Amino acid sequence: MKNSLFLAIFLVITIILLVSAGSVVQAATTITFPVGGESLERGATYPFGWTTDEIGPIQLKLRTGDTIYSLNQGQILGAGLGQALFSVPADLPLATDYLALITTPDGQVLATSARTFSVIAPPNTARAKNNQQANVLQMFDYLLKQLRSIIRG
């Protein structure tokens, strides 16, 4: 009986301390894309993914160094498994140290991507086409040399 009373008092005090510290009411939020290691092209569209217990609105952001860029102007409700398409702004600075963030509207960070990722320039289509043409010409030249050596015996 005495042990049960002490156990009950201990549990009540522990619960009060946990609630007052905020650890019981803290929502769990995880970013599922981008998680890190990716190379995202400027101007391209990607699915920003997350899971969260957060009920209210959330904001999707990218951070490089001390600069934070907001991806959504409106509000997204965060509960459950979520995904929102976002376009990487065409003028976003190129860098290899970006992190994805999910915040509350007042800026409290709920989650950060596990590792950094890169924002890269889209491929130059004219240069890529010229490279493809050069590769075809090199291959044709190689095949022609092989054919000549076969004919010569």
Read off the pLDDT of each residue in 96-108 and give the average, rounded to a whole number.
Answer: 90
DSSP letter assigned to residue 54: -
- The DSSP-derived string for 95-127 is EEEEEEEEE-TT--EEEE-SS-EEEEPPP-HHH
Residue 57 pLDDT level (bands cut at 50, 70, 90): confident
For residue 32, give the nearest of 85, 98, 100, 78 by alpha carbon.
100
pTM for the full model? 0.62
Chain Cα centroid distance, residue 7 = 45
| Cα–Cα distance measured from residue 131 to residue 138, given in angstroms and rounded to the nearest whole number | 10
